[in-house]
Amino acid sequence: MTCRMMKKYFWALLFIGLFSACNNSDDPQPVPEKENITILSYLVANNNLNDYLVGNIATMYDGLLSMNKPATFLVYWDGKTQIGANNASHLILKYQTDGKGNINGRPVHDLPGTMEEVLNEGVIVKEYATQLSTDKDVMTTVIKDMMANANSDKFGLIFGSHGSSWLSSIFTSRSFGQDGQGTDNTMLISDMAEALKSVGKKFEFILFDVCYMGTAEVAYTFRDVANYQISSAMEVPAYGFPYDLTLEDLYGGTVNNYKTVCETYLEYYKLLYEIDNYAWGTISLIDSKEMGNLTNQLKSEIVAHKEMLADYDSSHLEEYGKSSGPYIAVDLGHFVKDLNDGSMSATFSSQLAKTVLYKGCLEKARPSTYAVDAANYSGLGIYIPVEERPKWNSYFKTIDWYTAAGWNEVTFSWDF
């Protein structure tokens, strides 16, 4: 029995009649008070994650129920599950809580319901014709449309789909998303960052419910897009984040709130390890404004050891491509220590601590190959060029991180 099946969701509608206003229609209507933050969720579920992402919306809904203040949550859905009278598969859903147990103006009670019914509880604010959700212009348009239906000037953003860090669609890899069963309809992280910059707002946070996004390459790419990034250096279990337990903290908007989100994620999977045969994980909170400084520190290390790196063997480092992605990422801190005979300078250690504000991992995991050695876990992964990945290396040279981190100054002993 899967975790999502083990969770029971109890929602149904209780119709208590219509209420009419008794004020004169010419009287001015009160203007709703601005909410502190609106959270947007961009879910690309037209793939084998469809049912899991439906489950994520259900736990998001459950998280809204526990809120003690008004909040707005908007979801862009592109999935196999069709919603509403028009059987739409590309649309924006809106969920608003008054902080008193009502969602979208209706009281919700613990009566049996299904996860799909929770989707139908969302107010459809816009439907789209079939479109490619991993297209840069589509993403920009959709997020602008979600923002236009918000009651806030501040936004958090959740991404849910497949992913593979900075990689392009080579060797069945994808930077973000899989819109369809193939691997062609995916999106580069550089295009994602450009799409998000185009909306004209810097996000309070981005939460990547996506595999392999907790790498230095990704964090550097999104450093100017969001204040904070919550992500995993390795695969994210298909169940994703426990939004019923974390949504209130995401609305909290402080560093301590975001740290609590990470702690809750880790505790959730620790508990799942005890009761199910499917639990692993890494999680980090990244301060985006410090990524430039960390990159400069790393560049100094790479340039200082460029002769050593010419034929460097990274196979002994903590590896985060546990199943589908060998070589995608090793641990950044472990790498730096290995360059320096097992130690890390106080300067680098201090900058790493300023950048990675929270880090956590499961040392006990199922399958056991997913276990992580906490002693070698710094909270960020990093790609080290290897001869076995010539196509990856060719693309690696084209991303901004390649030069920013100093890899362009290394002359490898093999054809790179």
pLDDT at 265: 97
Q: Is residue 242 classed exposed, middle or buried when 0-12, 13-18 and 19+ CB atoms within 10 A define those classes? A: buried
What is the span of the domain harbouring residue 228?
Answer: 36-288
pLDDT at 322: 76
The last residue of a domain, from among 248, 269, 288: 288
**% of the chain exceeding 70 in pLDDT:** 87
Residue 26, domain member (yes or no) = no
**Least confident segment among 175-179, 289-293, 326-330, 374-378:** 175-179
- Of residues 235 and 18, more confidence is placed in 235
Cα distance between residue 334 and residue 160, in whole Å: 29
Q: How confident is the model at residue 12 (pLDDT cuts 50, 70, 90)?
A: very low
Residue 13, domain member (yes or no) = no
Residue 135, domain member (yes or no) = yes
The last residue of a domain, from among 261, 288, 315: 288
**382/317 same-domain check:** yes
Given a contact cutoff of 8 angstroms between Cβ atoms, the answer to whether 93 and 123 are in contact is yes
Q: How confident is the model at residue 170 (pLDDT cuts 50, 70, 90)?
A: low
**Least confident segment among 166-170, 314-318, 375-379, 401-405:** 166-170
**255/316 same-domain check:** no
pLDDT at 15: 23
**260/403 same-domain check:** no
Please state the φ and ψ torsions of residue 368, each to the nearest 5 degrees. Answer: -65, -25
**395/257 same-domain check:** no
pLDDT at 242: 96
pLDDT at 185: 82
**217/318 same-domain check:** no
Given a contact cutoff of 8 angstroms between Cβ atoms, the answer to whether 40 and 74 are in contact is yes
In sequence order, which residues have a C-beta less than 8 Å from that of residue 331 and are 6 or more positions away? 233, 317, 318, 320, 376, 377, 378, 380, 381, 382
Residue 27, domain member (yes or no) = no
**% of the chain exceeding 90 in pLDDT:** 71
Tokens representing 386? 């290897």
**238/311 same-domain check:** no
**226/303 same-domain check:** no
Strand-pair category, 381-382 with 330-331: antiparallel
Tokens representing 375? 């002693």
Comparing CA positions, the residue from 327, 335, 328 lying closest to residue 301 is: 335
**106/202 same-domain check:** yes
- Of residues 107 and 303, more confidence is placed in 303
Residue 414, domain member (yes or no) = no
Q: For residue 50, give the 3-state DSSP assignment.
A: helix
Nearest 5°: the CA angle 276, 114, 281 is 30
**145/48 same-domain check:** yes
pLDDT for 3 beyond 50: no
Cα distance between residue 276 and residue 36, in whole Å: 38
Length of the chain in residues, anyone?
416
Nearest 5°: the CA angle 325, 348, 321 is 5
Cα distance between residue 162 and residue 185, in whole Å: 11
Residue 395, domain member (yes or no) = yes
Cα distance between residue 119 and residue 88, in whole Å: 11
Cα distance between residue 194 and residue 258, in whole Å: 25
**202/284 same-domain check:** yes
pLDDT at 114: 64
Q: For residue 360, list its beta bridge partners.
A: 283
pLDDT at 184: 66
The last residue of a domain, from among 288, 312, 327: 288
Cα distance between residue 287 and residue 293, in whole Å: 11
Q: How confident is the model at residue 179 (pLDDT cuts 50, 70, 90)?
A: confident
Task: Express each pLDDT in 73-120 by its tens digit.
Answer: 999 999 998 888 888 899 999 999 999 988 998 877 543 456 667 777
Q: For residue 12, list its beta bridge partners.
A: 109
Given a contact cutoff of 8 angstroms between Cβ atoms, the answer to whether 127 and 90 are in contact is yes
**60/167 same-domain check:** yes
Residue 415, domain member (yes or no) = no
Task: Express each pLDDT in 308-355 by its tens digit.
Answer: 999 999 999 999 987 667 889 999 999 999 999 999 999 999 999 999
Q: For residue 6, give the 3-state DSSP assignment.
A: helix
Number of domains observed in the structure of the chain: 2
CB atoms within 10 A of CB 302: 20
pLDDT at 172: 62
pLDDT at 273: 93
Residue 12, domain member (yes or no) = no
